Amino acid sequence: MELQQAMQRDSIATARTLSEALPFLQRYDGAIVVIKFGGHAMGDDAAMEQFARDIVLMKQVNVNPIIVHGGGPMINEMLEKQDVKSEFVNGKRVTDAETMKIVEMVLSGSVNKRIVGAINKQGGKAVGLSGKDANLMVCEKAKPDLGFVGEPVKINPDVLHTFLDSDLIPVIAPVGVGVDGQTYNVNGDTAAGAIAAGLDADRLLLLTDVSGVKDADGHVITQLTPEHVAELTANGVIAGGMIPKTQTALAAIEGGVRAVVILDGRAPHACLLELFTEHGAGSLIRE
């Protein structure tokens, strides 16, 4: 009897949660949400499965998720296996021709297909792409010169628009192409921001291994404006690895994205909490 009562309470709680989500489901009906997937969750099978299930659910309720992924740890592992040395300057990988071949193989191959497979296993219809497909992400060589590291200068979103009225979920590897056909390695956050801006996305979710932007006392700041971000950066509160993420957020907003959220991809159902609950998750940045 007690077990039955506990199960009934759980069922009621589930029904209440679904009911409370209705305004948010309506709010994001048909919305484009670009999600940068990386960090710890990519290397954990259980986290990958949960992420994939959440993405399928989003598509099922008529949100249009577009996944852009990283893969640094997997690239490092393959470079080590191939005995290829790799250097970093200010957190960015110096990419020579030999390294570029491995980067593309890992990102567009094993990492991309693992995410595609995880989503399809949950009943979705994911399709793997890279920024080279249909010249989706045209790049120039980044400055300072780090070899074949690129900065997006043009996004051609036509190929992605074809997915918006379908059941397909694009999963994009951050590999771009130059006007001369040269292949470029692009930072995953940078690629996601550029693609989100190119689509005028409603949301850009940057999944990280931290809970969000923190204040001087270590507490997560749930809402920020670009001016607030600039002030915190100038004061040294936003520092280290959070600087490129917040700069990506600011560039995306300037490019037309309505809001950017930096949140912990390790948290259970992080994307669903952000989109479909009152309190959201992580740090939301918008004008």
Percent of the chain scored above 90 by pLDDT?
Answer: 71
- Condensed to tens digits (0 to 9), the pLDDT of residues 42-93 reads 778 898 999 999 999 999 999 999 999 998 888 989 998 998 887 877 667 7
For residue 232, pLDDT over 90 is answered with: yes
- Condensed to tens digits (0 to 9), the pLDDT of residues 233-250 reads 999 999 888 998 999 999
**pLDDT recorded at residue 7:** 61
**pLDDT recorded at residue 1:** 62
Average pLDDT value over all residues in the chain: 91
Over residues 170-183, mean pLDDT: 97
Q: Order of strands, edge to edge, in the sheet holding 150-155?
A: 150-155, 137-141, 175-177, 183-185
Instruction: Give all domains of the chain, ordered by start, each with its CATH number.
Output: 29-285 (3.40.1160.10)
In whole angstroms, give the CA distance from residue 86 to residue 46.
Answer: 30
In whole angstroms, give the CA distance from residue 131 to residue 178.
Answer: 10
What phi-psi label fits residue 42: left (phi over 0), alpha (psi between -120 and 50 degrees) or beta? Answer: alpha
Residue with the bigger pLDDT between 7 and 113: it is: 113
| 103 Cβ contact list (under 8 Å, min separation 6) | 75, 93, 95, 175, 185
pTM over 0.85: yes
> For the chain, how big is the Rg over CA atoms in Å?
19
**pLDDT recorded at residue 283:** 95
**pLDDT recorded at residue 15:** 79
How deeply is 158 buried, as exposed, middle or buried, from its count of CB atoms within 10 A (0-12, 13-18, 19+)? Answer: exposed
**3-class DSSP assignment, residue 25:** helix
For residue 181, pLDDT over 80 is answered with: yes
- Condensed to tens digits (0 to 9), the pLDDT of residues 86-140 reads 787 766 778 899 999 999 999 999 999 999 999 999 999 999 999 999 999 999 9
For residue 40, pLDDT over 80 is answered with: no
Q: Could you list the beta-strand ranges (E) of 38-185.
A: 64-69, 88-89, 92-93, 125-130, 137-141, 150-155, 168-173, 175-177, 183-185
